[in-house]
Structure 1
Amino acid sequence: MRASVVGCLCFAGLIVVAMVSACVGRFPLHAGQVLHAMLAAAGMNPGPPPPDADMVHTILFGARLPRIGGAICVGASLSVAGAAYQAVFRNPLVSPGLLGVLAGAGTGAALGIVWGAGPAGVAGLSFVGGLAAVAFGVGVAHMFDAASMLMLVFGGLISSALFTALLSLLKYVADPQNQLPDIVFWLLGSLTQVTPRALSVLVLPVLAGTMLLSACGRMLDGLAMGDEEARTLGIPVMALRYGVIGGATVLAALTVSVAGMIGWVGLVVPHVARLLVGPCNMRVLPVSACIGAIFLLVCDDLARSLSAEEIPVGLIADLLGVVVFVSVLPLLRRGWRA
């Protein structure tokens, strides 16, 4: 009962924060202006249009709503991916970057910028780079002991180190006047590149991935008891482990390819969700999606409002993530001791 109430409150909070985000920005809008524009776009008759109706429509549908949708998708995906990784590895300090997906995605994006591949090419290479990094890490683990969790983490560390070195090499050979600033800005994380077309590509995989990973929640709970105990319950341990890792990796790589590298969301948000609804992964994963979306929406609102020049949302997420993590750390430590 408590988990259902918390879930409903989180969803309601997400709607409220999204409505506030539609009004916040360099050109503030009133709630009445936003409501009128949305009703008019839906084909309803909200009354005579105000004098600035065209400007409001352009700001809202051309820039602000795609960013809101992008923040929701990216925050939800990173949070669900982080919660899934923590459940699979049975480690509360695991984040989506453990197996090298962030380093690989950054390397792919940098390669696209150096090649002059354009926005779509950069996003595509970033996605491929993230998947390639995880595949390399898993391959290293298979060379030694595919069933060992330690070898899987070891492979991820090797993959992260390799792709971080490749990223540094690409930054070294990039044109310092044109290409290097683009690489650095991309690595800081930003939602400025989220277009309606990019959002349409992002929504369905995010929904499908969140639902599939949430459906695996009970089996992930069984996996938390250990591999042997999970097998006695009829859980296909290896298939579940690599299937969840694959799904979480696709979610993380897809969002990184759209918004760049945004840290702390996948690490902090699942802990907040567990404090609210308990350790059951079937509840933690969807609640993490809602809280992650709210968290990144707030970060993006701050990024657009704190100064005349927009601050990269990745910086705000890092700073705010540290504050949240330190705030909940005393509560988390009690659970870790137990």
Structure 2
Amino acid sequence: MEKSHEARTSELLRKELILVIIAIAVFLLSFPLGRYSISPGDLIMILAAKVIPIHHTWPTTMDIVVYNVRLPRILAAMLVGAALSTSGAAYQGMFKNPLVSPDILGASAGAGFGAALGIYFSFSYLGIQLMSFACGLIAVFMAYTIGQKVRHDPMLVLVLTGVLVGTLFSSGTSLIKFVADPYDKLPAITFWLLGSLAAITPHDVLYGFIPILLGGIPLYILRWRLNVLSLGEEEAMAMGLETRTLRLIVVVCSTLMTSAAVSISGLVGWVGLIIPHLARMIVGPNYKVLLPASMLIGSAYLLLVDDLARCASSVEIPLGILTSLIGAPFFFYFLVSGRKSWS
């Protein structure tokens, strides 16, 4: 019996190591991709020059492209992918529902409304991001506060209030689009809502990294408790777990991550829904390994999608379109073949 447990542990470690290697490989392979060609040899020299003294034989433009354009975009794609997939995995365990995604409590709808409002009032790019982040937090706070007023089924009520608040903010976004200037503001709002990382700067990565880190660390530390929470309310309370406090921590941390991700990338759907399913099929339902696996797979996945978005055609394809086109067929496959991963 002990040998079987050790074998399973060794297999999970091997799978996690493979996921780490894949994420690193996707990270490195994304640098040469783009309209400005950079050979692998030049890329190695440029990256190594930051660590060891190397004679500068490449154009200065390459340094600018690598460090000011591609590196922030690559890091942003990995941050957003990791944040959405981790939030999705945490929510699916908390709600015991494989159809739950990070926007279940209205975070994405609120963030979209905040960005649309910022664009409508001609805020700076940073102002738009802050409005998006703040409205995402407000939306979830409203959903959670309203849900606490109803003493029935806490999880069902939380989902219903999330749908209610999400609809309210989505209606507000539609109203802003209706009254916006059709030649200036409306195209900008529409493009932002489709999701893109084209305008990412190093400062955006830093602003997004801080709340994502603040939300991710508690979830990672408490990931074993999500196993107990996913068993059900009565089972968790019987094992001495303070379910209300844990649910609040999950909601706050997931909201921080989702709102921060949406504020820098726009609305990118399906990542937080399909990646946790894929992670369960690979490593199983144990959150001690499921959460890190979701984080690694999500970061690599969204980076690959962003690479496709900027290289598939002469005009950059919005991320939201690609994630929907890729995510829907995969989710159908998971529904058909991945039921056992929840057991």
Q: Using structure 1 for the length normalisation, give the TM-score.
A: 0.95
Percent of pairs with identical residues:
38
Match of 1:307 among 302, 309, 313: 313
* Offset, 1:154: 1.1
Task: Point out the more displaced range, 318-327 or 185-194.
Answer: 318-327
Equivalent pair of 2:195/2:320 in contact (CA under 8 Å)? yes
Q: Does 1:111 align with 2:117?
A: yes
1:172 aligned residue: 178
Equivalent pair of 1:83/1:270 in contact (CA under 8 Å)? yes
Structure 1: tracts of 5 or more residues without a match? none
Equivalent pair of 1:99/1:156 in contact (CA under 8 Å)? yes
Residue 30 of structure 2: SS of its match in structure 1?
A: helix
For the aligned residues, what is the CA RMSD? 1.4
Instruction: Return the letter of the residue paired with 2:305.
Output: C
Equivalent pair of 1:127/1:257 in contact (CA under 8 Å)? yes
* Offset, 1:31: 0.9
In 1: Cα distance, 2:188 partner to 2:133 partner: 17
Instruction: Return the letter of the residue paired with 2:325.
Output: L
* Offset, 1:328: 3.2
Q: Does 1:293 align with 2:299?
A: yes
Q: Does 1:266 align with 2:272?
A: yes
Deviations 1:210-265 (A, max 9, x none): 23212212111111222122112121100001110110011000010011000000
1:14 aligned residue: 23
Q: Does 1:202 align with 2:202?
A: no
1:26 aligned residue: 35
In 1: Cα distance, 2:144 partner to 2:152 partner: 8
In 2: Cα distance, 1:157 partner to 1:200 partner: 31
Structure 2: tracts of 5 or more residues without a match? 1-9
Equivalent pair of 2:226/2:287 in contact (CA under 8 Å)? yes
Q: How does 1:184-223 map to 2 (within 5 A)?
A: 184-223=190-229
Deviations 1:81-130 (A, max 9, x none): 00011011110110011111111100000000111111011000000111
Residue 209 of structure 2: SS of its match in structure 1?
A: helix
Equivalent pair of 2:281/2:341 in contact (CA under 8 Å)? no
In 1: Cα distance, 2:46 partner to 2:214 partner: 30
* Offset, 1:314: 1.8
Residue 338 of structure 2: SS of its match in structure 1?
A: helix
1:5 aligned residue: 14
Match of 2:245 among 239, 242, 257: 239
* Offset, 1:201: 2.2
* Offset, 1:150: 1.0
Match of 1:38 among 33, 36, 47: 47
Aligned length: 334
Residue 175 of structure 2: SS of its match in structure 1?
A: helix
Instruction: Return the letter of the residue paired with 1:107.
Output: F
Deviations 1:185-205 (A, max 9, x none): 000000112211111222243
Equivalent pair of 1:99/1:155 in contact (CA under 8 Å)? yes
Equivalent pair of 2:285/2:341 in contact (CA under 8 Å)? no
1:49 aligned residue: 57
Q: Does 1:68 align with 2:77?
A: no
Deviations 1:51-95 (A, max 9, x none): xx2121111111001000000100000000000110111101100
